[in-house]
Amino acid sequence: MTDLDGSHVVPGDAIPGSADPGGAGAGTTGAGRRASRQSRPARGASPGPFSSRSYRLYFAGQLVSNTGSWFQNLAISLVVLQATGSATALAWVTIAQFTPVFLLAPLAGRLADTVPIRRILACTSAASVAAAIGLIAVLGQAELNLPWLLGLLVLAGSCQGMERIAAQAFVYELVGPRLLKTGTVLTSVYVSVARFIGPGLAGFAFAAFGPVPCLAINAVSYVAVVIAVLLIRPADLHRRQSQRGSAGKILLRRLPVFPVVAALLAVNIVVAVTAMNMNVVITALVTGTHGGGAEHLGAAHALNAVGAVIGAVILTRLRSLSFATLAPVFLVFGVALAANALAPSLAWFLALAPVLGLGIGLFSGTVNASAQSLVPPAVIGRMMSLVTMGTFGSIPFGALLAGALIDSTGARAPFLVAAVACLVNAGVVLVLARRGWGREAATAS
């Protein structure tokens, strides 16, 4: 098993003669050997996480659930915008959804490292069904009750925050250390594929049937996660030994890695605040600036997802991902944001949407994979809670900024601010990488 003194195996690096470097230790028996055999591809086949039955079940459940979430997100965004006509009100929807992620992330990370993740995912999915039913009751009323809506979104956001961190930590248990990098990157694929399928279908469903059926579809989609986790056999999972202490204390014991993690979290927060409020900004830009409808909004998200999938596929082809990889990623993301901000018409904006998605896919995959590679398996949950706090916990602050910019300046302004932030981050990462930060982290790992 990985200890805290530097024997951590870098994901994706094969060690000849090593049976299970991230499993239950030298004495791995039974479950560890079965999990190792399960994730090892047949001779002559290309290695990949989908060689694992458990990962296939997990991926399918998450794909269905994430697709259903788009029905709810798009329906609520359109209802609030139509009822209030205010981007600030739409920003409060984002705040209600993501503030619980920020507040609960430390607890969620610790639970993901100490409680069976199958149990966490089953419980959070069941609670999400209850929240969705409550939202159906609120949106079924003749007049929108915004306080009740926001309250139920806080409940839904709490469930999603716990689920998101647990799902990220679950990847190691599903595929083991050798396939961790690819398995982590591919989690962004089901998110992107769901973004491709969900918004388009949700846009047409909203236009044809209204918001309530959209929320009902989301409630049913959570059942897929429950079924998937129940079908995953605990004996097929790679074990992670529990380790006491916070992620910060454990990382301080690995001093060469700590500065890189701190820098990774810092640039992640900057991008989350400025560039990850796409639900607010794209909704305002498509329906406000360019005068599009629900179907155009769905198409924008779908085309955005196409680029994100391409970005994830590109990352799976790389031998390794590190902090230094973020320099070209930020450059691509910044240029994509600027191009979308300056699109002169709806047609041009839709044509450039895949380029924006490419930047998002490259950014998300690189941050998640490099973060997991820097820490021992025992604290992946706590590490991902820090990343999640930055990625999603900071979104409420960014939503307020985006809403204020949209209402005062226009929907193009948040994109331009985000573009500048990404280009500055690219320069910062490049300078730090040239000073050897990425190499030090690789050595420490």
Q: Is residue 291 one of the residues assigned to a domain?
A: yes
40 sits in which H/E element: none
Q: By mean pLDDT, which of 44-53, 57-66, 167-176 is the weakest?
A: 44-53
Residue 162 lies in a domain: yes
Of 180 and 2, the structure prediction assigns the larger pLDDT to 180
**338 vs 318, which has greater pLDDT?**
338
Please give the angle made by the CA atoms of 354, 418 and 412, to the nearest 5 degrees. 75
Please indicate, yes or no, if residue 25 is contained in any of the structural domains.
no
Report how far Cα 60 is from the mean position of its chain's Cα atoms. Answer: 16
Q: Which amino acid is at 22?
A: G
Structure confidence at residue 248 as a pLDDT band (50, 70, 90): low
Residue-averaged pLDDT of the chain: 79
pLDDT, tens digit (0-9, with 9 covering 90-100), for 388-421: 888 877 777 887 788 888 888 888 999 999 999 9
Q: What is the CATH number of the domain that holds 181?
A: 1.20.1250.20
Give domain status of residue 84, yes or no.
Answer: yes
Q: Which helix (H) or strand (E) holds 140?
A: none
Domain-embedded: residue 22: no
Q: How confident is the model at residue 251 (pLDDT cuts 50, 70, 90)?
A: low
pLDDT tens, residue by residue, 148-203: 999 999 999 899 889 988 988 899 999 888 888 888 888 878 887 887 788 778 87
DSSP structure class, residue 9: P
Domain count, the chain: 1
Q: Residue type for 364, please?
A: S
Rounded Cα distance, 87 and 403, in Å:
5
With contact defined as beta carbons under 8 Å apart, do 25 and 15 qualify? Answer: no
Range of the domain at 74: 50-236+243-444
Q: What is the dihedral of CA 317, 322, 327, 330, to 10 degrees?
A: 70
Query: Euclidean distance between the first and final Cα of the chain, in Å?
Result: 14
Can you state the angle between helices 258-275 and 395-408, rounded to 10 degrees?
Answer: 30
Let me know if residue 17 belongs to a domain: no
Most confident of 1-15, 187-201, 376-390, 415-429: 415-429
Backbone angle region of 12, left / alpha / beta, with phi > 0 → left and psi within -120 to 50 → alpha: left
